[in-house]
Structure formats: structure tokens, C-alpha cells
Amino acid sequence: RGIALCLREGEGKQVILAAVVNRSGRQIARDRFCFETVGPGEIRMVMNGLLESYDNIKAASIGLPGPVKDNRGICCDFPALQEGDLAAELSAEFGIPVILENDVNAAILGYSRRTVLTDEACVAGLYFPERFCMGCGIYLMGQIWRGKRAMAGELFGLPVNRRPKGGLSPQEFLDCIGENMRILTAVLDPEQIVVYCEDADSYAGVKLPEAEDGPQLVFSREFEADYRSGVARLAVEKLDQGMVLP
């Protein structure tokens, strides 16, 4: 069994979406914990509760908003997680391997499982939270593409509109998507670009000029479901690799 934790914002709180999964990926249990601030202490509390409630847990995976390199978060939208080596500290404390992953990377991995993408597929996911800058995840040749320094998909360095979605009008939002579609098409030429946003239904049927001869544009409200699925998949992969501690 493995623990899968997804960190995100929701309803003005910082949230830990928790699940226990078995080797086949089936969720044995799931829960949602809301805090004013999520830091190492809150993650420890949730993990400790799951370890006390379920036996034979051999690995944990944690998704968080921000790039991850060498299993360390190098920047995070949750200030309390900016310092320290979270995965190493949790692994030492609980005696199980802990893997970290960027939230949008995990979501696009979950999307690949939900839609049964082929190993040859190239798909990019754009996530537009209400309060933070957008993020991007890339699925390429059957796996998440992170780049050499784990900065693939970190679009904040590009000369495009970087304001959170909550500060954009509907037209500005579509213009922002168009800008990013042009960049992603020029660099990756993906077959699909998935746009995650809470009001995705409002954009059903929208056609952008950039999509006429380019990637298929998919608006989706399923960020949380795909995020949970992707982080759970990482826990299962850790179990399948046999990378467990005695």
C-alpha cells in the first residue's frame, strides 16, 4: 500500500487531499484536510494518521505546487514548504520512501491514464488557479517530461500574461491561452493542450485561431481528479519498483 497526498488551494484554505492506494491503484481510503497554512507539520500529522489507521504502507507520494528537482521542491506556492528537504525528512521519520512531484505534472500524468494516451503521445496541460500563476505539465513518450533542471513547463519566465486567472477577464484569459498555445506548438508541437480551470464549462465549444491548424484544445474541470490519479500512480510505481525500506 501507498500514501498519496495532493497539496492545493481551495475555498481560501490550503488543502491536503489524502488517499491510501494498493498496488493495483485502487483507492482504499481518501480524505480531505483543510488548514490555514500547510507546512511540514501538517503533512506529518496527516501521514501519521494514515500510518496508524492502515497497515503495510510502504511508500508515499506528494504533489505540490512548484517545480521539483532531485526529489526536492525548489520553489513552492506554499511559503511554509520553501525550506528544508521535505522528502528526506519524512522518509527518515516514517521509514518509507517519499517521492515529490509538481502538481501539474501529476495532473497530466493522471489525464494520460484517464484518456489512455499512447506512449507516442505528446500532450501539454495548462493549469489556471484563481490566485496563483499558471503552470504547465508535459506528457511525452509515455512519461512526464521535466527537463534537465526540472523547469520544463515553468512558464513564469516567458513574456506572456502571468496574472492569476482571478485577475483576468474572459477575453484576457483566452488571449493568454492563445499566447501559450503558440509557444507550446513551436517548441513541442503537442497533439493536445488541456486547459484546467474551474469554469471550463463556460468555454465549451470555444475555438481559437491558434487551434485551427494546431493542437486540439481541451477545457477541463477535472484538475483535482487527474491530480489525485497522477499522484496515486506515482505511489504505485514506487511500490512496483520494489523501492521500499525494510
Confirm if 64 and 78 have CB atoms less than 8 A apart: yes
Burial of 191 (0-12, 13-18, 19+ CB in 10 A): middle
CA gyration radius, the chain: 18
DSSP per residue over 178-189, as a string?
HHHHHHHHHHT-
If we measure between CA atoms, which residue out of 177, 245, 246 comes closest to residue 217?
177
pLDDT of residue 162: 64
Question: How would you class 122 by CB atoms within 10 Å of its CB: exposed for 0-12, middle for 13-18, buried for 19 or more?
Answer: middle
Range from 3-7, 38-42, 67-71, 192-196 carrying the lowest mean pLDDT: 67-71
d(CA 116, CA 16): 27
Closest Cα to residue 16, out of 57, 75, 54, 64? Answer: 64
Given this model, what pLDDT does residue 106 score? 96
Which cell is 61 given? Answer: 507520494
Residue 226: HSE in the Cβ half-sphere, 13 Å Cα cutoff: 27
Retrieve residue 88's grid coordinates: 528526506
pTM, entire model: 0.90
Closest CA to 239 of 6, 18, 24: 24
Please, where are the H alpha helices in 30-169?
40-53, 86-94, 103-114
Over 50: is that where the pLDDT of 244 sits?
Answer: no
Tell me the H-state helices in the chain. Answer: 40-53, 86-94, 103-114, 170-187, 223-240
For residues 194 and 160, is the Cβ–Cβ distance under 8 A?
Answer: no
Q: What is the pLDDT of residues 138-178, one digit of tens each?
A: 999 999 998 888 888 877 777 666 667 777 788 888 988 88
pLDDT digits (tens, 9 = 90+) for 24-79: 888 899 999 999 999 999 999 999 999 999 999 999 999 998 888 888 877 777 87
